[in-house]
Structure 1
Amino acid sequence: MKKSILLIALLIAGIATAQSKYQTGMQKAFGLWEEGKMTEASQLFERISKAEPTKWKPAYYAATVEILGSFGLKDETVLTTKLTKAQEFLDVAKSNSENNPEILITQALLNTGYIAFDGQKYGMTLSGKNSQLYAQALAIAPNNPRVILGNAEWNMGMASFFGKSTQPYCDEIKRAIELGKEEKIEEEFYPKFMVSRAENVLKGCEK
Structure 2
Amino acid sequence: MKKSILLVLLLTITGIKAQDQYTRGMEKAMKLWSEQKIVDASNLFERIATAEMDNWLPYYYVAMVNTTASFGEQDEQKLSLQLGKAKEYIDIAKNISPNNPEILVLEAMTNTAWIAFDGATYGMTLSGKNVKLYQEAAELAPDNPRVVFGKAEWDMGAARYFGKDTAPYCKDIERSLELFATFKPESDFHPNWGQDRAKSVAEQCKS
TM-score by length of 1: 0.96
For 1:13-28, list aligned pairs within 5 A. 13-28=13-28
The answer for the alignment partner of 1:50 in structure 2 is: 50
1:185 Cα deviation (Å)? 2.3
1:177 Cα deviation (Å)? 0.2
The answer for the alignment partner of 1:125 in structure 2 is: 125
The answer for the alignment partner of 1:204 in structure 2 is: 204
Secondary structure (helix, strand or coil) at the match of 1:191 reads coil
The answer for the alignment partner of 1:95 in structure 2 is: 95
- Does the 8 Å CA contact 1:180/1:195 hold for their aligned counterparts? yes
The answer for the alignment partner of 2:63 in structure 1 is: 63
Runs (4+) off by over 3 Å: none
Aligned equivalents of 1:168, 1:137: Cα separation in 2: 20
Secondary structure (helix, strand or coil) at the match of 1:174 reads helix
- Does the 8 Å CA contact 1:145/1:193 hold for their aligned counterparts? no
Aligned residues: 207
Provide, for residues 122-150 of structure 1, a one-character-per-residue CA deviation record: whole Å limited to 9, x for no partner: 11111000000000000000010000000
Provide, for residues 66-91 of structure 1, a one-character-per-residue CA deviation record: whole Å limited to 9, x for no partner: 00111111122221111001111111
Unaligned runs of 5+ in 2: none
Aligned equivalents of 1:36, 1:132: Cα separation in 2: 32
Among all aligned residue pairs of Structure 1 and Structure 2, give the percentage whose two residues are the same amino acid.
52
Aligned equivalents of 1:3, 1:180: Cα separation in 2: 49
The one-letter code sitting in structure 1 at the alignment partner of 2:103 is: I
Bigger CA drift: 127-136 or 32-41? Answer: 32-41
Aligned equivalents of 1:27, 1:36: Cα separation in 2: 14
Aligned equivalents of 1:54, 1:61: Cα separation in 2: 14
1:197 Cα deviation (Å)? 2.1
Provide, for residues 180-199 of structure 1, a one-character-per-residue CA deviation record: whole Å limited to 9, x for no partner: 10112233411014322211
For 1:178-189, list aligned pairs within 5 A. 178-189=178-189
1:144 aligns with 2:144: yes
Unaligned runs of 5+ in 1: none
RMSD (Å) for aligned C-alpha atoms? 1.1
TM-score by length of 2: 0.96
1:92 Cα deviation (Å)? 1.4
Aligned equivalents of 1:47, 1:186: Cα separation in 2: 23
